[in-house]
Amino acid sequence: MAQRPITDKPADPLEEYLCNLTRRRFFGSMATSVGAGLGMSALSSLMADGAQTAITTTEGAKEILANLPHYAPKARRVIYMHMEGAPSQLDLFDYKPVLAERFDEDLPDSIRNGQRITTMTSGQDRFPVAPTMFKFDRYENNEDGVMLSELLPYTGAIAHELCFIHSMHTPSINHEPGITFFQTGHEQPGRPCFGSWMSYGLGSESRDLPAFVVMITQGYGNMQALSARFWGSGFLPSEHQGCKLRAGRDAVLYLRDPDGVSRDDRRKMLDLASKINEEEYGKSLDPEVTARIAQYEMAYRMQMSVPELTDISTERPETLEMYGEDVKTPGTFAANCLQARRLAERGVRFIQLYMRGWDQHGNLPGEIRAQCKAVDQAQAALVQDLRQRGMLDETLVLWAGEFGRTVYCQGPLSETNYGRDHHPRCFSLWLAGGGIKPGISYGKTDDYSYNVIENPVAVHDLHATMQHLLGLDHTRNTYRHQGRDYRLTDVHGNVIKDLLI
Amino acid sequence: MFFLNHKRPDAYEQMIDMIFSEEPYRTRYAERMATPWLDLARYGDTSGIHMDAGRSIWPWRDWVLESYRDNQPFDQFVIDQLAGDLMDNPTQNQIIASGFNRNHVTSDEGGAISDEYLLMYAVDRTNTLGSVFLGLTVGCAQCHDHKFDPVSTEEYYGLLSFFNNNEEPGVYSQIPDPYRAMEPAYEILRPEDRERMEELERYLQATIEERDTPTPDEAQGIAAFAKDLRAEGNWSWERGRIGHTSSSHGAILKLQPDGSLLASGTIPDVDDYTITLSTNATGLRSIMLEIMEDPSLPYGRVGRAPNGNAIMSGISAEVVSQADPTQKRPLDITWAWADVEQPNSDFKVVNSLRSDDGRVWALGGHEQSGDRVALFTTREPFGYEGGTDVIVTLHFHSVYAKHSPGRVRLQLGRPNEDVLDRLPSARTNWYIVGPYTTGSNAEHYDTAYGPEEAGPLRFDKKYRKQAWRYAPGVKEAENVRLAAGSGAEYVGCEIYVPTARNMNISLGSDDGIMVYHDGELVLERRVNRGVAADQDQLELDLQPGRNTLVCKVVNTGGQGGIYHREIIPESTIPGDALAFVVPDDAVADTTRTRAEAAWRRTYSTGYLEAEAKVQETQASLAEMKQGIPKTMIMQEREEVRPTYVMMRGAYDQPDMNRPVTRGVPAILGSLQTDEVPNRQDLARWLMGEENPITARVTVNRTWEMLFGRGIVETVEDFGYQGSWPTHPELLDWLAADFRDSGWDVQESLKTILLSATYRQDSRVNPLNAADPNNDLYHHYPRQRLTAEQIRDQALYVSGLLIEQMGGPSVKPYQPDGLWQEVAMQQSNTRNFERGMDKDLWRRSLYTYWKRAAPPPSMMALDAPTREYCSPRRITTNTPLQALVLWNDEQFVEAARLAAQRIMLEADSDDARIDLLFQRCTGSPPSPAIAAAFHETLVEYRQKFGVDSERATQLVAVGEAPIAEDLPAAELAAWTMLVNAVLSSDAAIVKD
Tens digits of residue pLDDT in B488-530: 999 999 999 999 999 999 999 999 999 999 999 999 999 988 8
How far apart CA A2 and CA B84 sit, in angstroms, is 59
For chain A, give the percent of residues with pLDDT over 90. 62
Q: How many residues does chain B have?
A: 991
How far apart CA B919 and CA B917 sit, in angstroms, is 5
CB contacts of B851 in chain A (<8 Å) are 227-229
Instruction: Look at B928 and A279 and tell me if their CB atoms are within 8 Å.
Output: yes
How far apart CA A442 and CA A167 sit, in angstroms, is 7
- Mutation target to probe the A interface, by most A beta carbons within 10 A, among B877, B917, B941 is B877
SS3 state at B271: strand
Q: Which of B378, B367, B148 is nearest to B285 (CA)?
A: B378
How far apart CA B232 and CA A113 sit, in angstroms, is 64
**pLDDT at residue B6, rounded to an integer:** 62
How far apart CA A67 and CA B652 sit, in angstroms, is 42
How far apart CA A245 and CA A165 sit, in angstroms, is 29
CB count in 10 Å sphere of residue A135: 9
Instruction: Look at B883 and A299 and tell me if their CB atoms are within 8 Å.
Output: yes
H/E/C letters for each residue in B786-803? CHHHHHHHHHHHHCCCEC
* Phi-psi group of A248: left, alpha or beta (phi > 0 → left; psi -120 to 50 → alpha; rest → beta): left
Q: How confident is the model at residue A19 (pLDDT cuts 50, 70, 90)?
A: very low
Mean pLDDT of all residues in A368-387: 96
**pLDDT at residue B5, rounded to an integer:** 61
pLDDT exceeds 50 at position A29: no
Nearest CA of chain A to the CA of B44: how many Å? 14
How far apart CA B217 and CA B223 sit, in angstroms, is 10
- Tens digits of per-residue pLDDT, B817-833? 899 888 988 899 999 99
Interface membership of A283 toward B (CB under 8 Å): yes
pLDDT exceeds 80 at position B933: yes
Instruction: Look at A225 and B51 and tell me if their CB atoms are within 8 Å.
Output: yes
Q: How confident is the model at residue B146 (pLDDT cuts 50, 70, 90)?
A: confident
How far apart CA B335 and CA B545 sit, in angstroms, is 6
SS3 state at A356: coil
Rounding to the nearest 10 degrees, give the CA dihedral for residues A30, A32, A38, A39. Answer: 40
Interface membership of A46 toward B (CB under 8 Å): yes
Helix or strand run (H / E) with residue A103: none
How far apart CA B802 and CA B959 sit, in angstroms, is 14
Helix or strand run (H / E) with residue B129: helix B114-129
Rounding to the nearest 10 degrees, give the CA dihedral for residues A50, A52, A53, A56. Answer: 140
SS3 state at B636: strand
Give B928's contacts (C-beta < 8 A, 6+ positions apart).
A275, A279
Measured between CB atoms, which of B882, B933, B952 is closest to A295? B882
Residues 404-463 of A with CB under 8 A from B: 411-413, 419, 421-422
Instruction: Look at B879 and A298 and tell me if their CB atoms are within 8 Å.
Output: yes
How far apart CA B249 and CA B525 sit, in angstroms, is 52
CB contacts of B875 in chain A (<8 Å) are 33-35
Q: Which of A362, A260, A19, A286 is nearest to B892 (CA)?
A: A260
Count CA atoms closer than 13 A to A57's CA, side-chain side.
11
How far apart CA A161 and CA A440 sit, in angstroms, is 9
Measured between CB atoms, which of A216, A229, A362 is closest to B865? A229
Nearest CA of chain A to the CA of B854: how many Å? 8
pLDDT exceeds 90 at position B604: no
Measured between CB atoms, which of B824, B877, B880 is closest to A223? B824
Nearest CA of chain B to the CA of A42: how many Å? 14
pLDDT exceeds 80 at position B164: yes
Selected residue with higher pLDDT from B186 and A34? B186
CB contacts of A237 in chain B (<8 Å) are 862, 874, 876
Q: Which of B540, B470, B549, B461 is nearest to B513 (CA)?
A: B549
List residues bridging with B64 in a β-sheet.
none
CB contacts of A34 in chain B (<8 Å) are 708-709, 713, 874-875
DSSP state of B130: I
How far apart CA B352 and CA B809 sit, in angstroms, is 45
SS3 state at B965: coil
**pLDDT at residue A6, rounded to an integer:** 36
Q: Is B875:B989 a contact under the CB 8 Å cutoff?
A: no
Interface membership of A2 toward B (CB under 8 Å): no
pLDDT exceeds 60 at position A10: no
Calculate the alpha carbon distances from B440 to A29, A171, B24, B406 in Å.
Answer: 66, 54, 57, 55
**pLDDT at residue A30, rounded to an integer:** 31
Residue A289: closest C-alpha in chain B: B985
How far apart CA B431 and CA A298 sit, in angstroms, is 50
How far apart CA B506 and CA B537 sit, in angstroms, is 5
Measured between CB atoms, which of A40, A228, A260 is closest to B852? A228
Helix or strand run (H / E) with residue B272: strand B271-279
Q: Which of B837, B792, B831, B793 is nearest to B812 (CA)?
A: B837
How far apart CA B227 and CA B307 sit, in angstroms, is 37
**pLDDT at residue A380, rounded to an integer:** 98
Q: How confident is the model at residue B679 (pLDDT cuts 50, 70, 90)?
A: very high
Selected residue with higher pLDDT from B243 and A31? B243
- Tens digits of per-residue pLDDT, A152-161? 999 999 999 9
Q: Which of B567, B554, B553 is nearest to B506 (CA)?
A: B567
Q: How many residue contacts between A and B have a Cβ separation below 8 Å?
A: 300
Helix or strand run (H / E) with residue B593: helix B589-603
DSSP state of B956: T
pLDDT exceeds 50 at position A14: no
List residues bridging with B490 in a β-sheet.
B433, B552
Selected residue with higher pLDDT from B686 and B556? B686
- Tens digits of per-residue pLDDT, B848-882? 999 999 999 999 998 998 998 988 888 888 899 99
Cα dihedral across residues B161, B165, B171, B174: positive or negative: negative
> Strands (DSSP E) along B467-592, which ranges?
469-470, 480-482, 487-497, 501-510, 512-517, 520-525, 536-542, 545-555, 560-567
Q: What is the ipTM of this complex?
A: 0.74
Integer Rg of chain A from CA: 24
Helix ranges, B708-867 (H): 728-740, 745-753, 756-759, 787-798, 856-860
Residue B49: closest C-alpha in chain A: A176
pTM assigned to the model: 0.71
pLDDT exceeds 60 at position B804: yes
What are the backbone dihedrals phi and psi of residue B846, each rounded to the nearest 5 degrees, phi first?
-95, 5
Nearest CA of chain B to the CA of A378: how many Å? 19
SS3 state at B925: coil
Rounding to the nearest 10 degrees, give the CA dihedral for residues B124, B125, B130, B133. Answer: 140
The mean of the pLDDT values for chain A is 85
Mean pLDDT of all residues in B556-576: 88
How far apart CA A170 and CA A365 sit, in angstroms, is 25
Q: Which residues of B416-449 are buried (b: 16+ CB within 10 A; e: fewer)?
A: eeebbbbbbbbbbbbbbbbbbeeeebeebbebeb
Residues 256-275 of A with CB under 8 A from B: 256-262, 264-266, 268-273, 275
Residue B149: closest C-alpha in chain A: A483
Q: Which of B896, B856, B863, B864 is nearest to B880 (CA)?
A: B856
